[in-house]
Structure 1
Amino acid sequence: MSNDPSAPLATAAVTPKAAYHHGDLRAQLIAAVRELVETHGPDGFSVAEAARRAGVSSAAPYKHFKDRHEILRGVVSEAMDRLRAAMEEGAAHHPYGSLEAVAAVGLAYVAFAKTEPGVFRLVFGLTEGHENAPDLLAKGEGCFGVVVQAVAACLGLPPGDPDVQRRAYMLWSFVHGHSFLTIDMKHKVASAEINDWDYLMGIGRAILAASRDGAALPR
């Protein structure tokens, strides 16, 4: 692994057909759709093409998914698992409770967006039915929980503390916005080059340093 903290975390290569086993068809279809979403967008792929890439008949996907929307929901669910794991791994590479650990959580988030912009957009664009999908809601809360845990450790406060929750939300908002601006290339309107690690450390320092020094942010 690179020693450069600004280097994006690597993601597993998608080789659905080579890795295909009948007992893991669901996972292989999700991997195939991930590739197609990156290439053609969530509206530009066919279930038949996903099945072809997985090496199965066009009818096979419907043994695991009732329709196209459910396949996309499966892609979102799997992506959220990988995003959370990457965020946790990022924090684990730095001392517990350090500002660097907080920044590394954000770096993993940005790296995921850069590496899989189509899937990243899908995760936050596929809102239809989320209120009826407690599993996806729970996974979203789990991802935010990684931010909360890192912030709580940095501030030396319990995760449920209102100040921790508020500051974690501020950090997530900055990182989320930066991720979308980056993949949409809108960051180029800035006159200065933005280094992700420096940006994340700066934002973390600005939002968390006041509490660490004993002061409180305005409510």
Structure 2
Amino acid sequence: MSDQTPPRSSYHHGDLRAQLIDAVRDLVETHGPDGFSVAEAARRAGVSSAAPYKHFRDRPALLRAVASEGMDRLRSAMEAARASHPPGSIAAIAAIGQAYVDFARSGPGVFRLVFGLTEGHEEDPHLEEKGFGCFAVVLQAVAAVLGKSLDDPMVQSRAYTLWTCVHGHSFLIIDRKTKGKFEMADEWGFLMQVTASIIGAE
């Protein structure tokens, strides 16, 4: 990529914000949430080091924007996975879990950012709402299988149990803790088994 700043027309009209988010996402995957600078993100986007501050107040705000975009992609992937199986089926729930694991595996840096204690993250209502939006996909699928409302305690409990199981599995994978004897050949079979066990447990 050229180090020269591109013509104004290439990064105005809202393009720069998206370009910076893409640049930071790549840097987070390479260096982690704490291993990049705004100046480096600006260089990758082909703009001056001052340009990002026209769209983001500071470095934490830029990180929160990357986390927000990541949550949007995660929710879309979960919804698409659910829709690929019959409504109210165990497979629809397992597919949501598979999408979650695949998201973590394909972008571990952003996955850690989304669920980590990034500065200001825990106090951001916008991110909190998006996080619940992802969980709502699981709630809806569980409610459909059990034939109950979203606020039913059984739906809430089993959806949460499924979420924590898949979440933990995802972190074990990206932390490379499943290599060797814990490495599974049939992840889909595992997710189906876990889902059936949790949904069917009394």
TM-score (norm 1): 0.84
Give me the whole-angstrom Cα distance separating, in 1, the residues matched to 2:77 and 2:48.
Answer: 33
Deviation at 1:126, TM superposition (A): 3.1
Of 186-195 and 112-121, more deviation after overlay is shown by 186-195
Asked if 1 retains the 8 angstrom alpha-carbon contact of 2:60 and 2:119, the reply is no
Q: Quick check: 1:36 aligned with 2:36?
A: no
SS in 2 for 1:65: coil
Give me the whole-angstrom Cα distance separating, in 2, the residues matched to 1:190 and 1:208.
Answer: 27
Aligned to 2:179: 188
Give me the whole-angstrom Cα distance separating, in 2, the residues matched to 1:165 and 1:72.
Answer: 30
Aligned to 2:61: 70
* 2:154 partner amino acid: D
* 2:74 partner amino acid: L
Which whole-Å deviations, capped at 9, do the CAs of 1:184-215 have from their partners, x for residues lacking one? 111125456252211110100101124xxxxx
Give me the whole-angstrom Cα distance separating, in 1, the residues matched to 2:32 and 2:47.
Answer: 22
Give me the whole-angstrom Cα distance separating, in 2, the residues matched to 1:50 and 1:138.
Answer: 27
Q: Quick check: 1:175 aligned with 2:157?
A: no
**TM-aligned CA distance change 1:127 to 1:59, over 3 Å:** closer
Deviation at 1:57, TM superposition (A): 1.1
Identity %: 65
Aligned to 1:140: 131
SS in 1 for 2:178: helix
**TM-aligned CA distance change 1:181 to 1:192, over 3 Å:** closer
Which whole-Å deviations, capped at 9, do the CAs of 1:67-110 have from their partners, x for residues lacking one? 11111011111101110111001000000111110001000000
* 1:1-219 correspondence to structure 2 within 5 Å: 21-23=11-13, 24-188=15-179, 190-191=181-182, 193-210=184-201, 217=202
TM-score (norm 2): 0.90
**TM-aligned CA distance change 1:91 to 1:191, over 3 Å:** closer
Deviation at 1:43, TM superposition (A): 1.3
Give me the whole-angstrom Cα distance separating, in 2, the residues matched to 1:127 and 1:148.
Answer: 26
